Amino acid sequence: MRVLVAGAGGMLGQDLVALAGARGHDCVGLSHAALDVTDQQAVAAAVARVAPQAIINCAAWTDVEGAEGLEAEALAVNGTGAGNLARAAASIGAHLVQVSTDYVFDGSARRPYVESDPTSALCAYGRTKLAGEHEVLAASSGHAVVRTAWLFGPGGGNFVTTMLRLAAGAGDELAVVTDEVGCPTYTGHLAPRLLDFAQERAGGIFHLAGAGHCSRNEFAKAIFAAAGLSLRVTETTQAKLAMLAPRPPWSVLASERGIEPLPPWQDGLAAYRASAPAVFGR
């Protein structure tokens, strides 16, 4: 399969390019420097030149806090940019897999969210990613939108690296929020399944994240244990930390479409530590 990975310089994009090559696919990875997805003409030209059978879109504005004050700029990437790729893919009969987020939900549920649940994003990041979903499926109902959550892995900044950086200057304790509960997802586990979606030309909305769930506070404790740190993790809330962007307090994902979840998030954390021991000070 000839596959184009947009946003190939990011954490998930790097994993996808490496895995696609290892699987024997003809993969072209384009970073933001090589392809600005907000430029419709550039996207159309790149897709025509590469002529892929499938496109996996990892290009995204991921600065959740920054999007609150720059929603138009975030929308250009997460909404319009996704639409540009989706329409270009449809024009040549290529299948597109759009990576989306649990932040399209408001977190008011107390059971796992499934694909048919109504969306209601709380923050600008979530709203712009939801706009991207709409753009992609409007371009072709055969395209796929894969909602995932709390990505971490080698090749980029993530919650794990943030916690370890904060721990280095935190002294004996660090306050981490308890009112965010979700599904940490290892990019090394997600990437193979995204390639499967691309190859199978699966269409519609799918939920796919690490099995199990935890709060950010619980996740931080597991991270510090993996790094061999004895730091005490205390409880706090989003309100106490005065976060600009409201996050859904509960964004656990499940699938009603028979999609098997990824391995448990604890397995993902162990795999991350094994693949990048230096991150954990090992």
Active-site residue list: 125
Cβ neighbours, 10 Å, residue 165: 11
Element spanning 222, H or E: helix 216-226
In whole angstroms, give the CA distance from residue 204 to residue 224: 38
Cβ atoms of residues 120 and 105 within 8 Å: yes
Cβ atoms of residues 187 and 152 within 8 Å: yes
Show Cβ contacts of residue 164 under 8 Å, excluding neighbours closer than 6 positions: 223, 227, 279, 280, 281
In whole angstroms, give the CA distance from residue 106 to residue 197: 27
- Longest C-alpha distance within the chain, in Å? 57
Amino acid at 189: H
